[in-house]
Amino acid sequence: MSVRSASRTRSGRVDAPAGEPRTRSRNLHDERQPSSAGLAVRYAVTGLVTLLVVAVAAAYAGRTMSTEVAIDAAVRATALVGDLAVRPALDDAVLRDDPRAVAALDEVVRSRALTGSLVRVKIWDRSGRILYSDEPRLRGEQLAFSADERQVLATGERHAELSDLTRPENRFEDHDIALLEVYERLTTPSGVPVLFEAHHRYEAITEEGRRTWTRFAPSLFGALVLLALLQLPIALALARRLRRAQRQRETLLRRVIEATDTERRRIAGDLHDGVVQDLAGVAFALGAVVRAGGAVNVAEVDGAAWRIRHTVRSLRSLLVEIYPPNLYEEGLQAALSDLPARLSHRGIEAELRVEVPVEVLGREQMELLYRVAQEGVRNVVVHADARRVVVTVGRAGDALVMTVADDGRGLPGPVPGRPGHLGLRSLGDMAKTLGAVLQLESVPGRGMVLRLEVPLG
């Protein structure tokens, strides 16, 4: 059976066990991230493309709506021509093809109706006979009504549509010019209904729609451009905030990697300097007993047994430090009570004071309190040269406050409010994500106080 153990170099650095890959730090900026200006440019380009798409859609919709408005205007104009010009000149004699009545109507139509976009007028009786047209060759022809024309005669509702230039009544029209037909029902002085048909040049209708559209298009596009420009500073601010958040996550991840690597080295060093050395001593002692033959040195055997028990306790302490099994099963107070108990064999007096119930804390908050207490006790053992440590959990207003105070030598210089040690710095970042505050206070020669404040509720 092969056994892998950690080895220590001459410089004191603890290497990973043989065959285990070393942890490699990764440069989190190897993959180039876009700058805030780059993100803003991307937003601007995306906004410009969106603006163009919206502008094209708005232009199409605006032209369509403007054309519809122009058609409605043509329908209203036809109604005005029919009511104000044609109806007064429409005599019952026109129904009998009276030449003088038709001539009088023709004079009115040509002088007062055929203006602007209106280029053709027809008047039909109910049988489908053309009573009048400004195109004389159509007068008197008998043609079949379409469904829309019958509907206008029956209901009196106006109707507009593009002319079908292949129909017989449109054979004298220029087939290269599109026409818009507008139908309206008129009545003679005796109350006989007739169909009034007016043809408008469709190009004139669409041109009017275009003019209508161009009048408000600059305002629409100007508003869209202004909206995009107003959003650009907001997008730039959001991009900067995103980059800051990315940098914070990268920094946190880098510190987690560094803390993990440091913790692995510390565990390897503890095993090498403690358990491995103790077991090596036990092996040498038992080997000496075996080599002594039949004579058994009771003191050596008893010493070896003591060192084995001490090694087992050290292993158990190390396992509890790595993962406290009673933190979630028995509660935070039980887990905290294990920390001061491990200091007694080092000659350090330790005390735990839990002045408030801690069951109200969540799982992440419990783990944060335990890890901070663990790191505080560990720093006392390694750096403080203290004789007494007090771990206190109390309440201050709406926050739960835990302190780890010792009477050691403290730090030689001023200490910023935020811990600078790698382990404490990582815990400070963890505390920040939970809305907590981790501070380190020190007076040279009078010890240190590690203080964690966790908001409740």
pLDDT on residue 417: 43
**Dmax (CA) of the chain:** 157
Is residue 292 in a domain?
no
Domain count, the chain: 2
In degrees, rounded to 5, the angle at the alpha carbon of residue 444 between the alpha carbons of residues 439 and 448 is 35
Is residue 355 in a domain?
yes
pLDDT on residue 10: 36
Residue 235, CB-side half-sphere exposure with 13 Å CA sphere: 18
Is residue 256 in a domain?
no
pLDDT on residue 357: 77
CA dihedral sign, ordered 255, 260, 264, 270? positive
Is residue 73 in a domain?
yes
In degrees, rounded to 5, the angle at the alpha carbon of residue 267 between the alpha carbons of residues 261 and 272 is 125
Choose the final residue of a domain: 209, 231, 247: 209
CATH number of the CATH domain containing 149 = 3.30.450.20
Is residue 196 in a domain?
yes
Choose the final residue of a domain: 150, 181, 209: 209
* Torsion angles phi and psi, residue 449, rounded to 5: -130, 120
Choose the final residue of a domain: 209, 236, 268: 209
Q: Are 79 and 64 in contact (CB under 8 A)?
A: no
Q: State the pTM of this model.
A: 0.42
CATH number of the CATH domain containing 397 = 3.30.565.10
* Ramachandran quadrant class, 329 (left: phi over 0; alpha: psi -120 to 50; beta: rest): alpha
Interhelix angle 202-270/298-322, rounded to 10 degrees, is 170
- Structural domain of residue 345, as residue ranges? 331-455
Is residue 226 in a domain?
no
Is residue 237 in a domain?
no
Token duo for residue 443 = 């007076």
The secondary structure element, H or E, covering residue 216 is helix 202-270
Query: Taking the CB of residue 258, how many other CB atoms lie within 10 A of it?
Result: 16
Q: Are 262 and 375 in contact (CB under 8 A)?
A: no
Token duo for residue 302 = 């008893």
CA-only gyration radius of the chain, Å: 49
pLDDT on residue 342: 66
pLDDT on residue 421: 57
* Length, in residues, of the chain: 457
pLDDT tens over the chain, length 457 residues:
333 333 444 334 444 444 444 434 344 344 455 666 666 677 777 777 777 787 777 777 766 776 787 788 888 888 888 888 899 989 999 999 999 999 999 999 999 888 888 889 999 999 999 999 999 999 999 998 888 889 999 998 999 888 888 888 888 888 888 888 999 999 999 999 999 999 988 888 778 777 776 777 788 778 777 877 777 787 778 778 887 888 888 887 777 777 677 667 767 666 666 666 777 777 777 776 666 665 666 676 777 777 777 777 667 666 666 666 566 666 777 777 777 766 776 778 888 888 877 766 777 888 888 888 888 888 887 777 888 899 998 888 888 898 999 888 876 654 444 444 556 777 777 788 888 889 888 777 778 889 999 888 6
Is residue 63 in a domain?
yes
